[in-house]
Amino acid sequence: MPGPLDAVDPRAAVVEDRLAGVGRIVAVTGSKGGIGKSVVSASLALAWADAGRRVGLLDLDFTSPCSHVILGADEGFPGEGFGVDPKDTAGVSLMSVAFFAPEVAVPLRGDEVAGAFLELLAVTRWGELDLLVLDLPPGLGDIALDVVRLVPRVEFLLLSTSSRVVLGSVERALRLLTGLRVPVLGLAENLQQGNDQGVSRLGASFGVPFLGALPYDAGLEDALGDPGRLRATAFFAAVRRLAGRLSG
């Protein structure tokens, strides 16, 4: 009879099961903060839902979650059954730590971020989805590395602006992801104001498709929290085109 095995964290064993009913998993990242990853993630999910796709959105920015604000989600805890049910928000199945800890600071160190992520992966019941969007926090830290390590079939969408500061950071992310042979769907430019070709040139230098530009839209801020108004913005029209290219 073999001796007792060492201590095992059971959660990783069910991640694949929990995501078994999900068709594609798209992780939206961009290395730098403030470039619109969350607004693009939530809008992409909304655009896909509008097109009749079954879509989930997981907000992985645990210390500064905002997907619930962008989509105007109801407050309160998610439902609980065999696991935890995402909240239906404007047709998107949304999961966020903000549902559990609204309006309080959530100061987490790296291993605590990783623990919260694994817990959510293990207990969230996504059911059948065509697409699941992962809204990543800035940087290539614990969440990005755990997405690569734990999430099966994940594909990355990288966002950049034309700022040299952002481009340099996205270039490093591209170097890492392509080096790890992680699928990269492409690169999109956000907050576009001019006609700089820097983002498309960066994509070309890595052989990564340039998926288009999302314009800076002064009316976007006022539309946040109201999916109806969000859909009416020029920004969302561009997101719809991006969603079409990604699912085409």
Partner 1 sequence: MHEFALADAVMKAACRAARDAGMSRITSVTVRVGELQQIETALFEFSLSEVLPAGDPLLEGARFVVEAEPVRFHCRVCDLGFGRGDLEGEGTDDALEAMHFIPELCHAFLRCPRCGSPDFAVVAGRGVTISAVEGEDSPDAGPT
In the complex, the residues that contact partner 1 under the rule CB under 8 A are: 1-5, 7-14, 17, 62, 77, 80-84, 97, 100-101, 104-109, 112-113, 115-116, 119-120, 122-123, 125
Minimum CB–partner distance for residue 93 and partner 1 (Å)? 16
Structure tokens at 227: 């999916």
Minimum CB–partner distance for residue 98 and partner 1 (Å)? 11
Task: Note whether 4 and 110 are within 8 A (CB).
Answer: no
- CB atoms closer than 10 angstroms to residue 215: 16
- CB atoms closer than 10 angstroms to residue 119: 13
Beta bridge partners of 160: 189
Q: Which is nearer to partner 1, 80 or 222 (CB)?
A: 80
Minimum CB–partner distance for residue 114 and partner 1 (Å)? 9
Contacts of 191 (CB under 8 A, 6+ apart): 35, 36, 161, 214, 215, 216
Q: Which is nearer to partner 1, 6 or 52 (CB)?
A: 6
Per-residue burial over 186-203, b = 16 or more CB atoms within 10 Å of its CB, e = otherwise: bbbbbbbeeebebbbebb
Minimum CB–partner distance for residue 25 and partner 1 (Å)? 19
Q: Which is nearer to partner 1, 57 or 220 (CB)?
A: 57
Q: Which is nearer to partner 1, 77 or 127 (CB)?
A: 77
Q: Which is nearer to partner 1, 69 or 182 (CB)?
A: 69
Q: Which is nearer to partner 1, 1 or 165 (CB)?
A: 1
Q: Which is nearer to partner 1, 17 or 128 (CB)?
A: 17
Minimum CB–partner distance for residue 185 and partner 1 (Å)? 29
Torsion angle of C-alpha atoms 101, 104, 107, 108, degrees rounded to 10: 10
Contacts of 12 (CB under 8 A, 6+ apart): 118, 122, 150
Minimum CB–partner distance for residue 39 and partner 1 (Å)? 24
Minimum CB–partner distance for residue 8 and partner 1 (Å)? 4
- Count of residues for the chain? 248
Planar angle of CA 51, 56, 60, nearest 5 degrees: 135
| 93 class by beta-carbon count within 10 Å (0-12 exposed, 13-18 middle, 19+ buried) | buried
